[in-house]
Amino acid sequence: MALRVSHPQAMNTAQPNPDVLCVGETMAVVFPDGPFSLTDPTAPVRLSVAGAESNVAMSLSRLGVSTAWWSRLGDDALGRLVCDHVAAAGVSILAVVDAARPTGSMFKSMEKGDTEVVYCRRGSAASAMSVADAPRIRRPGRLIHLSGVTPALSASADGLVELLLSAVPGVLRSFDINYRKKLWPVSVAGPRLRELANQADIVFVGLDEAEALWGTRHPEDVRAELPGPARIVVKDAGERVVCLSRSGVVSVPAPPRQIVDVVGAGDAFAAGFVAGLLHGTAVVDSLSLGHYCAGRALATIGDAPVLPPFHEALAIARAERGNAAWKEAVS
């Protein structure tokens, strides 16, 4: 059964034939409304949603890229919350209801500049994703985006990710490593994420993730582990981002940022880079746009930042890069 969207504005802004499709779990998230601990019973809290792929979908939509999101949700209030929240960003909702399983949830605590996350997702509706869902998933016009979170949920979800990376012809396949050590150990995740990433056209990975998974310490070492993708985007924390492609290497330093919450910054970066790529901008501009979108995420509590339209965001990103202190290095 298709999940009904109740937000009237979202119904008007949804796109019937999206350029981009994002597939993966989104959960309800509870977090303190301020610098409080979730262990404090008097702390005010907020209820929102969080999910790597829907974060990318919402940021892409806010940049003006027609985007859809597919997942499985429980037939419950949290599932409807997720649906309405993502749809309100203008994303087409293609989720289906699983009446036998709940929508996943998570709790986020922010104390002394550190973010801690507790997941309640075992047995969630999204963990039941499988290759049997493939006929329900609409083929996007230009690109499909997935992450390494989904194959960690269950063997059946892993099978769906592999199918979508290997058997959707005619579209770009984007894959964010997104390693979550709480979901699976390095001994399992390392080889499996290498296999999946090598089937993608575009791969996003943090240098710290790559070192944890494969022992690689430099972007060039990551390329040796992942010879398959046409483009590998390696994020070196707050230092720089490097894109390794068949035509060469482009590196853009990270501008200084105010950091309120780091969660969601990688998703925002991926959205900015993909938006630039789909608009045909130069790689250096796509990386700069990724930096700008990530910066907006770092400066706010919440996983998907509010962004201006594409051309406005790109102009700001170019202006930031043009600052003498942050000039790009291209090799």
| pTM exceeding the 0.85 threshold for the entire prediction | yes
Residue 109's φ and ψ, nearest 5 degrees, are -115, 135
Give which of 110, 84, 74, 118 is closest to 302, Cα–Cα.
110
> What is the average pLDDT value for the chain, to the nearest integer?
87
Query: What CA–CA distance (Å, rounded) separates 64 from 67?
Result: 9
Per the CATH hierarchy, to which homologous superfamily does domain 238-331 belong? Ribokinase (3.40.1190.20)
Nearest in space to 205 (alpha carbons), one of 173, 187, 231, 171: 231
Task: Name the phi and psi angles at 32, rounded to 5.
Answer: -65, 140
pLDDT for the residue numbered 112: 61
Q: Is residue 267 annotated as part of the catalytic site, yes or no?
A: yes
Per-residue pLDDT reduced to its tens digit, 147-184: 999 999 999 999 999 999 998 889 999 999 999 998 99
pLDDT of 38 = 66
**1-168 placed in CATH 3.40.1190.20:** yes
Choose, from 19, 176, 261, 267, the residue flagged as catalytic: 267
Of the listed ranges 45-49, 151-155, 192-196, the one predicted with least confidence? 45-49
Question: Which residues of the chain form CATH 3.40.1190.20?
Answer: 1-168, 238-331
What are the pLDDT digits (tens) for 213-229? 999 999 999 999 999 99
Distances (CA, A) of 216 to 208, 225, 301: 9, 8, 31
User: Is the Cβ–Cβ distance between 189 and 218 less than 8 Å?
Assistant: no
